[in-house]
A and B are shown apart, each in its own frame.
Chain A
Amino acid sequence: MNRRLMLLAPFGVVALAGAGFFAMLERETEGKFDPRGVPSMLIGKRVPAFALPGDPGFADSDLSGKPILVNFFASWCVPCIEEAAVLLSLQQAGVPIYGIAYKDKPAATAGFLAQHGNPYARVGRDDPGLVAIDWGVTGVPENYLIDKDGVVRWRWVGPLTQAAVRGELQPLLRRFA
């Protein structure tokens, strides 16, 4: 009896691993788990000091008084096109969105906003990409929720999805309103 159980043990291990992998893939497709994800060092901290040019551009001191979504984007970024619709619907829902154009030419940014819609209350230009490095940005698009005291509360790597807005951003907006 004991020996038979021992023979079954490898199957048990394989079944357990299979269940684990299945759960991981499920969570990955739902966007709840990212194997390449790196936690942001900014969560719970004040935004780093910066002042970005633009029309009119913005600085860290402008990120206060109300929760603001900061979106790093670029005209050369393909996932940003997919994200544009989600950002526009957020803007219509009254969420202030500040954009940071990462390593982009002003004319190209303007063309992108004309073509795919402009959800931004303000757009700052980060041509050298140094502000992005201070924020720990690894690529575009990336989204950060800043609360009314200028503290970073949330980061979303990659294009924002409606599911992420419903599941994560909206509860946080209510909490930090």
Chain B
Amino acid sequence: MIHRRLLPAVAAGWLLAAGAAWAISDPSEALPDAAQEARAVAIGQELRCLVCQNESIEDSGADLARDLRHLVRQQVAAGASDQQVVAWLVARYGNFVRLNPPFEWSTVLLWGSPLLAVVIGGGIALFARQRRPAAPKPLDAAEQARLQALLEP
């Protein structure tokens, strides 16, 4: 039986432990070294789960994602750099595994689309400006007289 005055401290301890587990569901998956674990989480959040496809391997509950989390941690613990871990996975699953795809020929349209939108929008705006009819000429004396005649009751 825990003493009543100790309860808040025990609860706080549990919550802190839960916080250390970050996104993964099972705290036993985490690396003992906090700095290495933080790196593994950062790497994993940039890697796509191949089963659900729109979640990172850190967020996914899929079996394959759990295996990949484990492999990422194994490599981090063995001293691999972030780039080495990502390259290891890209060699198996291709650039699709990266949630942040690199700039290359096949992704030019993806990365260039904001610029493309600005260019197309600017082009349309310019075209519309040029097509706007010129301001009408001021009325000459004869037209002024006719307008006066029409306006007078």
A38, B67: Cβ atoms closer than 8 Å:
no
A41 within 8 Å of B (CB atoms) = yes
Interface centre among B50, B51, B90 (most CB of A within 10 A): B50
The reply to whether B51 and A38 contact each other, CB–CB distance below 8 Å, is no
Majority SS at the chain B contact face: helix
Write the nearest CB–CB distance from B91 to chain A, whole angstroms: 6
The answer to whether B31 has its CB under 8 Å from any CB of chain A is: no
| Residues B94 and A133 in contact, CB atoms below 8 Å apart | no
Within 8 Å of chain A (Cβ to Cβ): is B107?
A: no
B81 at the interface (CB under 8 A from A): no
Residue of B50, B63, B90, B93 near A103 (CB, 8 A) is B63
CB contacts under 8 Å to B, within A133-157, are 133-136, 138-139
- Is A38 touching B50 in the complex (CB atoms < 8 A)? yes
Cβ–Cβ < 8 Å partners of A39 in chain B? 94, 96
Q: Give the A interface residue count (CB, 8 A).
A: 15
Task: Identify B92's interface contact among A36, A128, A129, A133, CB under 8 A.
Answer: A133
Instruction: Quote the shortest CB–CB distance from B51 to chain A (angstroms).
Output: 6
Taking a contact as CB atoms closer than 8 A, the residue among B51, B53, B71, B96 that contacts A133 in the complex is: B71
Cα-based distance from A40 to B50 in the complex (angstroms) = 12
Nearest 4 pairs of A and B residues by beta carbon = A138-B50, A136-B92, A38-B96, A41-B94
Write the residues of chain A forming the contact surface with B, with a CB cutoff of 8 angstroms.
Answer: 36, 38-41, 103, 128-130, 133-136, 138-139
